[in-house]
Structure 1
Amino acid sequence: MGHGHGHSPEGDRTRLGIALVVTLGATLLGAVGALLTGSLALLADLGHLLTDAGALAAALVASVLAARPANTRRTYGLGRVEVLVAGLNGIALIAVVVWVGYEGVNRLFEPVRIPGLPLLVIGALGLAGNLVSLLVLAGGDRRNMNLRGAALHVLGDALGSVGVLVAAAVLLLTGWPYADTVASLFIVALIVPRTVGLLREVGHVLLEGAPKHIDVGEVQEALRGVPGVRDVHDLHVWAINDRKPSVSAHVVVDEDGHGPCGEGSVLDRAARLLRDRFGLAHSTLQVEQHSHSGHEERCD
């Protein structure tokens, strides 16, 4: 199956830039609100906003670096910078969540009275900014881990703003002193699973795991079905980042299985199969005769 899409790296960078400007404005608003009200929910939201601003800025820089061509020193280029930044963003968000959770538990024992009306106004303005950023980022490449990591941060802020609004409404209607604290803990509970999922995906790529949409066993069987191929071994499927999957393999052919050059060769037939059926446009295949297999160690 093909894996082309209409998104461009330049378009993704523009989206990240717009989201960064909106987030910086929301950060300034959140800082003023937290100072005026002493709200833990707003502080939690401010912590997310600060990490978001850093995450969006880092994602923007990473997308620029990833576009730089490969050279003799970095033969794969800098495409993996996006994956590293996505991982750092996830770690930063986990740190914020731990801090907010700790403060929230403390406030359960020592509640702090928070004014409801300023909380409501600031929460509504913050949510509007979050929604604008999410709409901008949603138009980008959904297979771009770097962009999804940035969007996850903004989603956390949007959930935070909703929690702030709910807390403000409860405070205005009932005066319940725990509303702000409960809202902040609820935000933490919503964000943690998504962040852990992102970190697991980052770890999978860094450990050279096969892309989740590609069945390596199916790839091997498909290669064995290519006319002239007797066996396939040392098959590896990995990705530099989540948009650039690659494959390498040793293809054992019949004694006369090389065939002519061009479309009739085993090499071209196998490469075309990998590209058209699995979206593996970058393939490195070593074609060898069966008598050669005894001269090398195999990876089972």
Structure 2
Amino acid sequence: MPHVHHDHAHGHTPAVSSTNERVVLSGFVLTAGFMVVEVAGGLWSGSLALLADAGHMLTDAAALLLAWLAFRMGRRASDARRTFGYLRFEVLAGLVNALTLFALVAWIVWEAIQRLRDPAEVLAGPMLAVAVVGLGVNCLVFWILHRGDQGHVNIRGATLHVLGDLLGSVAAIAAALVIRFTGWMPIDPILSVLVCLLILRSAWALLRGSFHILMEGAPPDVDIEVLRRHLLDAVPGVAAVDHVHVWSITSGRVLATLELALADGAAPARVVPAVKRALADRFAIGHATVEVVHAPPADCALAGEPRGGAAHGGNRADAGHDHHHRHGPDSPPHDAVR
């Protein structure tokens, strides 16, 4: 089966720019720097809430560092072995970060249980001072991140992490005030567990998103059946759309492969570019591989694949092999246009 070139004209994706790199790096330096201060303050004051917030800041610092590395790696050119470059590094980094968050939550909850059984004395003064400074640092980092491209998942994710840090600092301030004015020590481990819930929520969202991309699932804003109907209705000359697969290489970089059957008299040279424009404009799919067949495809159930099947990144050589068996050696030739 003859193949023509890939279409590398991508749709809009958030820029991997030097501005984004500087924003993320500045946020990392501030977050990591104060994290060290907060750990020292937590150990000095005996506050588990401060240590929990420092743990949250540790994960944020790791997320910012991984985001910066993802920007750097994402700019590396593709080669013959890695045809999409290092774009998926961001997803792998997110998966590692999520697993680290779960481990941290387990440790803090265990420590909180021990302290509820045997409350430890907490120095409210140092705890309050560190928590107030932490709130100021988080506000500064939040402002810095808002100078970056909020359309990029790394920037947006880091901003959400910092919002969680802000709540963690507020919780530490509240615990310090309660201890200072009432002397009730259990408030410290109780609020540390509340901070853990913030961490756990971020960890689950990050793990689920990373795993979905690694499993080559369809992006949440792309409905395969809606996509098929849109191409049939919006692009003249399209008679059938089948074997639709949509997946993401990384955040904002969506790819698709599909098979078209054209109406009588329709010219592939006109229909295929129109299909790619429709995919880019309506679904933000900037890299599409389109295979054209001269006759409507047979029922997909006969080929062992559901109509508009599950998204994955299968290669077109397998698709060609499948057609050979379905149509037989005497079937008309196919035109594969990419």
TM-score (norm 2): 0.80
**1:90 and 1:149 in contact (8 A); partners too:** no
Secondary structure of the corresponding residue to residue 249 of structure 1: strand
Task: Output aligned runs, 1:1-300, within 5 Å.
Answer: 4=12, 9-225=17-233, 226-258=235-267, 261=269, 265-290=270-295, 297=303, 299-300=305-306
Deviation readout 1:211-231 (Å, 9 max, x if unpaired): 112222111112223222211
Secondary structure of the corresponding residue to residue 65 of structure 1: helix
Cα drift, residue 10 of structure 1? 2.0
Residues of 2 paired with 1:136 and 1:97: CA distance?
27
Aligned residues with identical type, % of pairs: 35
Residues of 2 paired with 1:252 and 1:291: CA distance?
5
Cα drift, residue 298 of structure 1? 6.6
**1:170 and 1:176 in contact (8 A); partners too:** yes
Q: 1:16 to 1:95 in 2, by over 3 A?
A: same
Q: Which has the higher helix share?
A: 1
Deviation readout 1:34-71 (Å, 9 max, x if unpaired): 23112111111222233333332222111110122221
Q: 1:158 to 1:16 in 2, by over 3 A?
A: same
**1:70 and 1:76 in contact (8 A); partners too:** yes
Secondary structure of the corresponding residue to residue 240 of structure 1: strand
TM-score (norm 1): 0.90
Deviation readout 1:183-213 (Å, 9 max, x if unpaired): 1011112332232122111111111111112
The one-letter amino acid of 1:243's match is G
Residues of 2 paired with 1:93 and 1:228: CA distance?
51
Residues of 2 paired with 1:120 and 1:69: CA distance?
49
The one-letter amino acid of 1:100's match is I
Q: 1:168 to 1:115 in 2, by over 3 A?
A: same
Secondary structure of the corresponding residue to residue 238 of structure 1: strand
Structure 1 match to 2:322: none
Deviation readout 1:230-266 (Å, 9 max, x if unpaired): 111110111111211111101011353225x4xxx11
The one-letter amino acid of 1:207's match is M
Structure 1: runs of 5+ lacking an equivalent: none
The one-letter amino acid of 2:204's match is V
Residues of 2 paired with 1:100 and 1:71: CA distance?
44
Structure 2: runs of 5+ lacking an equivalent: 1-9, 307-338
**2:16 and 2:74 in contact (8 A); partners too:** no
Cα drift, residue 151 of structure 1? 3.4
**1:107 and 1:181 in contact (8 A); partners too:** yes
Residues of 2 paired with 1:167 and 1:103: CA distance?
17
